[in-house]
Structure 1
Amino acid sequence: MECLIRSFDGKRSLNRLVAALVFPLALFATGTEAYDRVVGEGFASRSPVLATNGMAATSQPLATQIALDILKRGGSAVDAAIAANAAQGLMEPTGCGIGGDLFAIVWDAREKKLFGLNASGRSPKSLPFSYFADNGLERIPSHGPLPVSVPGAVDGWFELHGEFGRLPMSEILQPAIDYAETGFPVTQLVAYYWNRSVPRLQEFPGFTETFMPGGRAPREGELFRNPRLAKTYQRIAEGGREAFYKGDIAREIANYMKANGGFLSYEDMASHQSEWVEPVSTNYRGYDVWELPPNGQGIAALQILNILESYDLAAMGRTSPEYVHLFAEAKKLAFEDRAKWYADPAFNEIPVQKLISKQYAAERRKLINPDRASKRYDAGNPALRHGDTIYLTVADAEGNMVSLIQSNYRGMGSGMTPGDLGFILQDRGEMFSLREGHFNQYQPGKRPFHTIIPAFITRNDQPYMSFGVMGGATQPQMHAQIVINMVDFGMNVQEAGDAPRILHSGSSQPTDEVMAEGGYLSLEDGFPMETRRKLVQMGHQVRFESGPYGGYQGILRTDDGVYHGASESRKDGHAAGY
């Protein structure tokens, strides 16, 4: 009975069914489902937000307001994005913070060009590969000192600000400092994940003092203050990136790690440097979709789109078993390549252009059986050519747009909470493989495979949309679905994010973790029972799940300069403009 209820679009649709039975005229007036919306798709949580002077979309309403305040003071889109990200590090410690990494794609309206920034940190240089085998470890632990890598976010802020900033960093960080000192009310979803993190992280030194006031996680609506983080932000505002990487903050981090069995050193912090990279793209039915190259997983979205481009998805329909099947198979193909090839390009020659080529997609597409789910695919062999997370997007009046994603990994990160600094260090090092010869094999001073990816779309060499989706391996799948929802199924920027999602899990992983043969397919509430039944008949393992479908923000820009903002209905987020 429970499965039957869940198949009918979950609890919300059950309520709609009851309402329709009580008020049959409502059902008659709106079709087969009793929605209140007069226009737009019935599943949309709201219409897009429209504005011309500026737009911000984040997963925290107060952070969105901070971004708008910065824009109104004359700040750039990048200034506003940094201010919002700093606030989210305080208000959403379950997904981000200055103990983590950052990636961004920026449209510069003056140069009419996209710029990409990889602000991910490297593994400790003093931690040898042999340490893990010597200590009986077959994989890098998820928490504690061993998965900690250099936090890259602060350097990312200053790199972005140096190229595209207008206001002084002290003014940009002040709103977050104020909230850290006076407190803010914890939102619903953040309170939920915060409480879930406590049992795993409270054992690590410093965590309870900072993140468990009164001996527990704060509840929804309770005020939370973090004066330690306020002081750290103030030191960064006054001393710049050097205060974090070469000053007392770096020394406090190094001393804390050494005292608690870690390897991250002052030298690791002092030698850190972000990297400006060229975004890469594929054209999908006239739209150029841009991602950053590895060590991130963004090109998986491009591979999925390339494979699917030859099919008439619009004719199949968004909830058809044919479309869902093809999407799942394309994802499997892309993720096998992801497991084999995606890694730090400083340590391996990665055939990025071959992987995202149309020719390679045509070769891989031949492996798909249109009537049957595959149990497994092998990774392709393109010839080498020699020679938990937050996402936000901001646009300003001049047409500059920034797509920024930032994360601790695994929600609140490693649990390692140094001294009185007010933040947790990331555990991104868990993503390394311990298999010798693997592209993503752990090595000292190496950047791990990364899941967080910003995205951008241009059309006719003009900015069209800045967007991203939070959620680990969910991200490239949802990037592709956002594009398909808009291009093939004609949705607006808000509907594209609200539409029920497809999630395939279980392909080979860059950490060598292989799940059930063929993986399993999760469909969000809103797919017909007949579609689920047909997919089972085709050999898919279909599961009923709620929650793992990611979190989305997007800003679309029309030719006449109007911004259309959207935020994730599954999160606490907010899009607003002026």
Structure 2
Amino acid sequence: MRDFEQPGRSLVMSKDGMAATSHPASTLAAVKILEAGGNAMDAAIAACAAQCVVEPGSTGIGGDCFALYSRGGGDDIIAFNGSGWAPQAASVPVLRSMGVASIERHSPHAVTVPGAVEAWATLARDHGSMPFKSLFAPAIKLASEGYAVAPRAAADWANQVALLRLDKTSREQMLIDGASPAAGTLHRQPLLAKSLMAIAEAGPRVFYEGFIAEDMVECLTSRAACTRWTTSRSIAANTCSPSRRASVATRCMSVRRTGRASSRC
């Protein structure tokens, strides 16, 4: 039992549910979804979307998604792998022909097809209880109306200033007069709000085949000297062999890309 005469944290209890993230705004987004009648999966997806806004240094719609969850309060723990593949055009022979001997961390060749958005849609479809569109409402509001930059986010931001300055759009959207926003700064992301609204309205297809995908392809193409770099692919969730890593995951699900590539270098 905790000694209440000493500094420390008290045990948190709730009869209806709870949420915990690394940012108060994301936690609040999850709580609002629970209060609106959503289940744990709905709340988790809403929190992830909010994280893309308030902690851009660690979370983004251009990333991947991994989840551990139980269905219906059961004891079975399911591992979900929503990570993306490398673009189909990025084969070893093609990269070697371009003089690429290794994949540098910040190289355009290091960019994989983002799996997060499709993973959210798959998890919401299979295990959520609310319309996919409604899960993005908190994140859209944060991106369009603004949010206070948290101290940890500000510190991570400051560490990436030199990198952000290299790209025109990054400078315009993620820096203020060439500097990272300080803790407590009101920060808005109108372009991200536009993308989130499009995904909420049209679903994940707009991210992988619509204007968002086209913008990503144009950006990567300009840096990779390829005529076309990434591709539209059909994406579906599927199960694979059971996994018992550390006796935690009893089932593994992955996001698989299928279909013929429409791009080439």
Which band: TM-score by shorter chain? 0.7 to 0.9
1:63 pairs with 2:26:
yes
Could you tell me how far apart the structure 2 residues matched to 1:191 and 1:291 are? 38
The root-mean-square deviation of aligned C-alpha atoms, in Å, is: 2.9
Q: Give, as a single letter, the amino acid of the residue that structure 2 aligns with 1:187.
A: A
1:253 pairs with 2:212:
no
- The secondary structure found in structure 1 opposite 2:70 is strand
For residue 263 of structure 1, report the CA deviation from its aligned partner.
5.5
Of 114-123 and 169-178, the range deviating more from structure 2? 114-123
- Aligned position for 1:169: 132
- Aligned position for 2:77: 114
For residue 272 of structure 1, report the CA deviation from its aligned partner.
3.9
- Aligned position for 1:311: none
Change (3 A) 1:294 1:166: closer
- Aligned position for 1:74: 37
- Aligned position for 1:322: none
Could you tell me how far apart the structure 1 residues matched to 2:120 and 2:168 are? 27
Q: 2:76, 2:250 within 8 Å by CA — same for their partners in 1? A: no
- The secondary structure found in structure 2 opposite 1:55 is coil
1:38 pairs with 2:3:
yes
- The secondary structure found in structure 2 opposite 1:229 is helix
1:222 pairs with 2:177:
no
1:242 pairs with 2:205:
yes
| CA distances 1:302-336 after superposition (whole Å, capped 9, x unpaired) | xxxxxxxxxxxxxxxxxxxxxxxxxxxxxxxxxxx
1:91 pairs with 2:21:
no
Q: Give the alignment of 1:286-305 within 5 angstroms.
A: 288-290=247-249
1:52 pairs with 2:15:
yes
Q: Of residues 123, 142, 151 in structure 2, which corresponds to 1:188? A: 151
| CA distances 1:73-126 after superposition (whole Å, capped 9, x unpaired) | 100111101110000000001101000011112201266643332111111111
For residue 45 of structure 1, report the CA deviation from its aligned partner.
4.4
Question: Percent of pairs identical after alignment?
Answer: 34
For residue 46 of structure 1, report the CA deviation from its aligned partner.
1.1
Change (3 A) 1:290 1:111: closer
Change (3 A) 1:112 1:238: same
Could you tell me how far apart the structure 1 residues matched to 2:245 and 2:98 are? 44
Q: Give, as a single letter, the amino acid of the residue that structure 2 aligns with 1:64.
A: T
Change (3 A) 1:137 1:253: closer
Q: Which is higher, the Rg of structure 1 or of structure 2?
A: 1
Q: 2:77, 2:250 within 8 Å by CA — same for their partners in 1? A: no
1:209 pairs with 2:172:
yes
Q: 1:127, 1:263 within 8 Å by CA — same for their partners in 2? A: no
For residue 158 of structure 1, report the CA deviation from its aligned partner.
0.3
| CA distances 1:505-535 after superposition (whole Å, capped 9, x unpaired) | xxxxxxxxxxxxxxxxxxxxxxxxxxxxxxx
For residue 201 of structure 1, report the CA deviation from its aligned partner.
3.0
- The secondary structure found in structure 1 opposite 2:157 is helix
For residue 293 of structure 1, report the CA deviation from its aligned partner.
6.1
Q: Give, as a single letter, the amino acid of the residue that structure 2 aligns with 1:124.
A: P
Q: Which structure carries more relative contact order (alpha carbon 8 Å, separation 6+)?
A: 1
| CA distances 1:35-85 after superposition (whole Å, capped 9, x unpaired) | xx7259x7x841231112111111111111110110011001111011100
Could you tell me how far apart the structure 2 residues matched to 1:69 and 1:273 are? 29
Could you tell me how far apart the structure 2 residues matched to 1:264 and 1:58 are? 41
- The secondary structure found in structure 2 opposite 1:65 is helix
- Aligned position for 1:495: none
Change (3 A) 1:267 1:82: same
Question: Which one has the bigger strand percentage?
Answer: 1
Could you tell me how far apart the structure 1 residues matched to 2:228 and 2:76 are? 37
Q: 1:191, 1:219 within 8 Å by CA — same for their partners in 2? A: yes
For residue 140 of structure 1, report the CA deviation from its aligned partner.
0.7
- Aligned position for 1:152: 115
- The secondary structure found in structure 2 opposite 1:215 is coil
- The secondary structure found in structure 1 opposite 2:108 is coil
Q: 1:124, 1:268 within 8 Å by CA — same for their partners in 2? A: yes
For residue 214 of structure 1, report the CA deviation from its aligned partner.
2.6
| TM, length-normalised to structure 1 | 0.41
Q: Give the alignment of 1:505-516 within 5 angstroms.
A: none
Q: Give the alignment of 1:285-434 within 5 angstroms.
A: 288-290=247-249
Could you tell me how far apart the structure 1 residues matched to 2:103 and 2:245 are? 34
Q: Give, as a single letter, the amino acid of the residue that structure 1 aligns with 2:117.
A: V
| TM, length-normalised to structure 2 | 0.85
For residue 275 of structure 1, report the CA deviation from its aligned partner.
4.0
For residue 269 of structure 1, report the CA deviation from its aligned partner.
3.5
Change (3 A) 1:137 1:243: closer
Q: Which runs of 5+ in 1 are unaligned?
A: 1-36, 296-344, 347-444, 446-578
Could you tell me how far apart the structure 1 residues matched to 2:243 and 2:201 are? 36
Change (3 A) 1:278 1:51: farther
Could you tell me how far apart the structure 2 residues matched to 1:205 and 1:137 are? 25
- The secondary structure found in structure 1 opposite 2:194 is helix
Q: 1:90, 1:226 within 8 Å by CA — same for their partners in 2? A: yes
Could you tell me how far apart the structure 2 residues matched to 1:248 and 1:119 are? 22
Change (3 A) 1:144 1:249: same
Could you tell me how far apart the structure 2 residues matched to 1:160 and 1:228 are? 25
Could you tell me how far apart the structure 1 residues matched to 2:252 and 2:44 are? 22
Q: Give, as a single letter, the amino acid of the residue that structure 1 aligns with 2:51.
A: Q
Change (3 A) 1:262 1:230: farther
| CA distances 1:257-278 after superposition (whole Å, capped 9, x unpaired) | 2233266958634334444446
Q: Give the alignment of 1:539-550 within 5 angstroms.
A: none
Of 113-122 and 82-91, the range deviating more from structure 2? 113-122
